[in-house]
Structure 1
C-alpha cells in the first residue's frame, strides 16, 4: 500500500498521520474483501503507525501485516559504513531498528565487517565517547529522506527498490533476515502494542520468526524511547 498524502519539505512523517489514516479506512476493507489471504505491505508514511492502523482495520494476523520500515535505513547504514571503510556494502552487517524516522536506533553492537565486530575494536563506537564520530553516519541515514524531499519534493527510487526487495523476499519465499516494521509487543523489551522495525525472517506467509538482538544498554534505552514515541502518536489519534 503506497497510497497517502505526499510528505512536504520540512514535514515529519508523523505530521502525515491523520490524513493517511483516513485514506486507509477507505482502502483496507476493500483489499481484505477481495484478497483475504494477502500479505499486507505498507509503504505510506508514517509507516509504523499506519501499519498498526492497517492491522486493526484489516483484522489480519499480525505476521501478515508489515511495512518496509527501516529496510531502507539499514541499507543506507551499511552503505555509509562501507563507503567510509572502502569495502562493499554487501560485506557489512548491521541494523537500524525502531521507528522509520527520527527516533530510529543504530545497532552498533550488531555491526561487523568480514566477521569482525566493530564493538570489539571500538568500545565507544556510536556513543558520546566516540572520537571517530561514527555516530554521524546514523545522522546521515536519518537526514537522507529529508534531503531528497527538499531537493525534488518526494522520494521514489530508493523506496521503490526497497519495496521490490521486500515483495521479492515474500513471493520467492526466500526466508531472508530483513528489518521491517512488525508487531513488536513483548519483543526486545518492548511492552507497547505497536509496530516498529526489528530483524525478522520473512517468507511466503509473512513473518516466519524474529531475530533476538543482544542490544547494549544504551541501544535498549533508545529502542524503548522509539517505541514510546510511536505509542504516544497512536494514542494521540485514538484518544
Structure 2
C-alpha cells in the first residue's frame, strides 16, 4: 500500500494556515498544523477538514500544540516567528525569531530526522542559516522560500504592465530576501521574449523597484499583519516539486559553497528541486553590474549572520 506523504506546518498564523489550505486542496499529503497557542491549530485543522467534503480532497488534518504528531514527516515548513509590524525592519525580528526557529528545528528534527526543511520565517536567509546549524542536516535539505515569492510578484507586475497571461511570464530574482534582492530583467521573459524587448527601461526599473518593495507595500496596506496568500502558495510550489520529484528550477535560498563567488551563506539562486531536496544549483553568467548587486545582497545577509554569531 502506498504511504501518503506527511507534511508538518509549524505556525498556524495566516501563512501557516494558508499553506495548509493550498497543500490540502492539492492533496499533497496528510497535514499536521503546529502552534503554541492552544486551540488555534486544532480549530483551523478542523475547519479545513470540514471543507474537504465540499472541495473533495482526501487528506488527514491534525492540529496540535506539541510535536509528537509530526513524527516521520517528509517535509517540515517553518513559518513560526513574530511577524513584521509597520516601521519594523526585518532585522528587528532577528534575535527573537532565531530563538523561535532554533526551538522548532530541535523539536521537529528529533522526530523527523529524514525530513526536508522549508523555512519561511523572517529574516529569511539568516533563519535558514539557524536551521542548517541546529538541524545538522546536509545543505540539500534546508531550503528557504523567498525567490519563488519574489519572482511571482515580479511576474504579476510584468503581466499587468503588458496585459498578458501570468502563465506566459517567467521572472528571475536572485539574492537575499529583502531590499537588496536582485531582479534580473534580461532573464525575465514573456512567452520566451525577454521583457527588455517589450518594455521601456523606465517601466522595467519601476517593476524591479516594486518587486523589491513587495512585502512592505502589502504590510503598509494591511496595517496589521503581512502578506500570506502568495508566500504560502510559493512554499507549496516548492513542496510539490519535491514530493512529485518534478525537478522544477526555482529560485530558492540555499547554502552556497563557492557558487557565484559566495561561500558559507544562504542566498537566493536558481536550483533544481526534486525528491532529494536541492538536486542542483544552477550557475548563470552575470554581468559585472548584476554580480556587484548579488555581492551586496550577500553582504546584507552576512551582517545578520554576524549579529547572530553564526
How high is the TM-score relative to the length of structure 1? 0.91
Does 2:99 correspond to 1:22?
A: yes
Indicate which of 189, 195, 219 corresponds to 1:149: 219
CA distance in 2, matches of 1:85, 1:150: 26
Any runs of at least 4 consecutive aligned residues in structure 1 with deviations exceeding 4 A, and if so which?
none
Q: Give the whole-Å Cα distance in 2 for the aligned partners of 1:36 and 1:27.
A: 13
User: How many correspondences in the alignment?
Assistant: 231
The question of whether the paired residues in 2 share the 8 Å contact of 1:92 and 1:112 is answered with yes
Q: Deviations over 1:144-165 (max 9, x none)?
A: 2112222322222121211221
Q: State the alpha-carbon separation in 1 of the partners of residues 219 and 194 from structure 2.
A: 34
- What secondary structure does 1:83 align onto? helix
CA distance in 2, matches of 1:185, 1:222: 18
Do structure 1's residue 199 and structure 2's residue 255 form an aligned pair? no
Q: Secondary structure at the match of 1:50?
A: helix
The unaligned stretches of length 5 or more in structure 1 are none
Q: Flag structure 2 segments of 5+ consecutive residues without an equivalent.
A: 1-77
Q: Work out whether residues 185 and 204 of structure 2, in 8 Å CA contact, stay in contact via their aligned partners in 1.
A: no
Q: Alignment partner of 2:241: what SS?
A: helix
Contact 1:72 1:159 in 2 (8 A): yes
**More RCO (CA 8 Å, sep 6+):** 1
Say whether residues 1:213 and 2:284 are aligned partners: yes
Q: What is the match of residue 178 of structure 1?
A: 250
Over residues 137-191 of structure 1, what are the superposed CA-to-partner deviations in whole Å (9 max), with x where a residue is unaligned? Answer: 011112221122223222221212112211111111111011111112311222x
1:52-67 equivalences in 2 (<5 Å): 52-67=129-144
1:161 — aligned with what?
233
Distance 2:145 2:103 in 1: 21
Identify which of 32, 36, 39 aligns with 2:109. 32
Contact map agreement 2:255 2:265 (CA 8 A) in 1:
yes
The corresponding residue for 1:133 is 203
Post-superposition offset of 1:21: 0.5
Q: Is the 8 A contact 2:173 2:182 kept in 1?
A: yes
Query: Who wins on radius of gyration, i.e. which is larger?
Result: 2
Which residue does the alignment assign to 2:147?
Answer: 70
For the residues of structure 2 that align with 1:80 and 1:72, how far apart are their CA atoms? 13
Q: Residue 168 of structure 2 corresponds to which residue in structure 1? A: 91
- Report the more deviating stretch, 106-115 or 227-236: 106-115
Change (3 A) 1:118 1:158: closer
CA RMSD of aligned residues (A): 1.7
Structure 1 match to 2:259: 187
Q: Does 1:229 align with 2:300?
A: yes
**1:187-227 C-alpha deviation (Å, 9 max, x unpaired):** 1222x311011111101110011221121211111000000
Cα distance in structure 2, aligned partners of 1:45 and 1:232: 15
Conservation of the 8 A alpha-carbon contact between 1:109 and 1:216:
no
SS in 2 for 1:147: helix
Matched, 1:80 2:150: no
Indicate the SS of the match to 1:181: strand
